[in-house]
Amino acid sequence: MKKLAVIVFVLVAYFACKKPFAPDLGSSNNIHYLVIEGVIDGADSTFIRLSRTKKVDTFRTIIAETGAIVTIESDANTTIPLTELKPGTYAAPPFQLDAARKYRLRMKTLDAKEYVSDFVQVKNSPAIDSVGFNAQSSGATIYVNSHDASNSTRYYRWDYSEAWQFHAYYISQWIAETVARPVDKQIYYCFSGDTSSNIILGSTTKLASDIVYQSPVTSIPPTSEKIELKYSILVRQYALTPDAYAFWQNLQTNTEKLGSIFSVLPSQSPTNFHCVTNPSEIVVGYLSVGNVASKRVFITADQFPSSYKPQYPTGCGLDTTFIDPKTPAQVITTNIYNQSYQLYTLVTGLYLPPPNPFGVPTAYTFSTNICADCTVRGKLPPPPFWK
């Protein structure tokens, strides 16, 4: 009985002491530090993204740093300018990296500040051997295999971009009351995609050989729409120096592994970027230089277990309305899930027989846009790499 009383006391004290925590950020609320993302890549185009930090409790929109002058410099005094493709994203075409030289990044922002990285040695990634998947009842895990015969890489980072084909819940066969939907205007099959948002790292320092075996990249639930028809993933592999690995590992800890009483305390990530005009200013990012390895694979639905059952991401229903052939231009509305929708934009063309004597359906069954039109959530044209 005494033991039970102690447990009850501890529980009461625990819940009674819980209070919402609102961090006092003070003057840091008005400070927007420069964030630099990207790798100087000799195997493909180089993309550098510049943005600004913001308060943790504000909107999630990224503050792009536009109008900056960005250049790549080598220790042999060669320079390569980058062009701003879209707000905050700067690019340079592929060029040959000289393994005997070091490279750095220099940026001049619109507020007249200048930022520069340390000179960084070229560290090329070994080729990706394969990208595969393991299927369990809980879902499929996408993994990567790689190795470095010279045992000189040891530290790895990966990111990825996904693409998949899916279809709407219902087939729309009619555009309007008397207009059938032609094949070139189908809205049943579409494509969608996504990119990695978490930090994926690997190290072989504790292994005798520099071999990466089935290192997890991402996972797909057995109900995911990604595996409904056909799925593709492009995995990119980066070779890191020990310092670069420490940066990404610390950033991973600060952003993904906090929140419990057993978590480590957050700390400032090391960086090789500096503000020339104000050396005390914090800069977020770490520059790496080297050819990036990549591999794309395609996986079709029949390669996954038959127990996998993709589910439509929203509830869908049907309703029926009858057509008055004397007023073909009428706008017909109905009520699905307590919301009104118009026939012209939402008809699925699942009409009820028999047709009237003039050959026009006497009634239409229709649904909401999101259930009958795949373009609400995707795009009709396949990606350029699709096969």
Residue 204 contacts residue 145 (beta carbons within 8 Å) = no
pLDDT at 381 over 50: yes
pLDDT at site 287: 98
pLDDT at 188 over 90: yes
pLDDT at 258 over 50: yes
Mean pLDDT of all residues in 63-82: 97
pLDDT at site 366: 75
Residue 381, CB half-sphere, CA atoms under 13 Å: how many? 3
pLDDT level of residue 326 (50, 70, 90 thresholds):
low
pLDDT at 327 over 60: no
Q: Which two tokens stand for residue 166?
A: 């899916």
pLDDT level of residue 17 (50, 70, 90 thresholds):
low
- Single out the residue of 94, 108, 106 nearest to residue 66, CA to CA: 108
Buried b (16+ CB within 10 A) or exposed e, 184-211: eebbbebbbeeebeebbbbbbeeeeebe
Residue 82 contacts residue 71 (beta carbons within 8 Å) = yes
Mean pLDDT of all residues in 207-222: 98
Q: How far apart are CA 227 and CA 167, in angstroms?
A: 11
pLDDT at 295 over 70: yes
Instruction: Give the pairing of strands 283-284 and 34-40.
Output: parallel
Q: Which residue has the tokens 């961090």?
A: 23
pTM assigned to the model: 0.82
pLDDT at site 343: 35
Mean pLDDT of all residues in 312-320: 85
User: Among residues of the chain, what percentage have pLDDT more than 90?
Assistant: 65
Mean pLDDT of all residues in 20-41: 74
> What average pLDDT does the chain have?
84
Domain ranges of the chain: 27-124+241-292
Q: What is the DSSP string of 189-247?
A: EEEEEEE--S-EEEE-TTSSS-EEEEEEEEEE-TT-GGGSSEEEEEEEEEE--HHHHHH
Q: How far apart are CA 308 and CA 324, in angstroms?
A: 44
Mean pLDDT of all residues in 182-200: 94
pLDDT level of residue 8 (50, 70, 90 thresholds):
very low
pLDDT at site 350: 42
